[in-house]
Homo-oligomer: A and B are copies of this chain.
């Protein structure tokens, strides 16, 4: 990163401006969300989304509360006198020297390129000086204050680093972030989650080749962190790799209005393209109510003779969807099991994927998604179907209750699966470990 003085001056200006200048304008966000819902072809009076503008505004406000937090207030009163090692000894520890590391801090931030939340595993190290240590919980608090803004990984690392260095005045601070971004549908450049590792250092950590970095990496070795992989990646957000379409000016303005309401300047160069990049994501979830078009030519595999009892299954079909309550992604895997009646062919994997995508790519709730997939597959196989959807909901993690590890499973059963415990159990136990669908 740049010289400390220079960086530091920039940051102070930026964060002071923001904290004094602006409160999140929730009613403007509500208006903008209504425009977005209309642009998706939704009836904004239908029960499930009637209060969505209110909820989205609240989620954005909570998710960007960092703009209204002051690091000085967080640290103040939490610097404690702590003697160092005896000065006649050669060594470091306590309040003078000796690394202090808080590891594995789970954070969520909003990608400034596309407005989607991204996940962070944050590790903070600092070396105390002047017989003074900081209360440990202040380190994640400061990290969170910067994460709860529109961000980009390297800047997030630099801002946490500078701000801690300024307020604690230690010998040095180091930040390592493991960031994970949801892949965009139909992105041929990224097959899976986009992961990058960034770092930032000041004081004794200014030089990346210094021995102190080796000590830090030794203590993070079990976190899957490889120091040779730390790097700055320009344009990590997958939205930048997908061709933009022409989007409705009303929708583009709506997204700009949201960015402005959060206290950001939509003309800042990193944010100029953000409305169209957000719409690249959002327009995947337009209201389309007729699956017959996509199913055309498949319907004749339906049959209704009596059959035998082998369970056919397709597990771990990935899906993307968008929570209709908060306009935030939920994603995961679908598992489908069915009995195939005699003289029928099994349903091809690609057709099952099409069905999953058809119902995933709309504003949804997981319970409905599960039911709709079950009903549609049922038409193809004669009525005996079990569907399990496993998902992580960013609305549960990036705002409010913030339960990072939690995830959700839903089931729908049709025909004999609703009465045959043995068949259900056999299918359920064939599902691979749920962790496989998670971003981290």
Q: Which A residues form the contact surface with B (CB < 8 A)? A: 47-48, 51, 77, 80-86, 89-95, 98-106, 128, 133, 135-137, 140-141, 144, 211, 214-215, 218-219, 221-222, 325, 365-368, 370-371, 374-375, 378, 383, 385, 387-388, 393, 395-396, 400-415, 417-419, 421, 424-425, 428-429, 431, 433-435
Contact = CB atoms under 8 A, between A and B. Distances in A.
Nearest to A101: B409
Contacts of A90: 383, 414-415, 418-419
A103 B410 CA distance: 11
A128 B86 CA distance: 65
Nearest to A93: B412
Identical chains bound together, number = 2
A103 B365 contact: no
Contact of A128 (B367, B404, B407): B367
Contacts of A47: 80-81
Contact of A103 (B48, B101, B409, B424): B409
A367 B141 contact: no
Interface secondary structure of A, over-half rule? mixed
8 contacts: A48-B81, A83-B371, A89-B415, A103-B406, A136-B366, A144-B401, A218-B424, A222-B433
A433 to B, nearest CB: 5
B435 A93 contact: no
Nearest to A410: B100
Contacts of A421: 211, 214-215
B412 A98 contact: yes
Contact of A407 (B84, B103, B401): B103
A101 B136 contact: no
A367 B415 contact: no
Contacts of A91: 374, 385, 412-415, 417-418
Contacts of A86: 375
A136 B408 contact: yes
Closest 5 A-B residue pairs measured CB to CB?
Answer: A93-B412, A94-B371, A218-B428, A91-B414, A93-B371
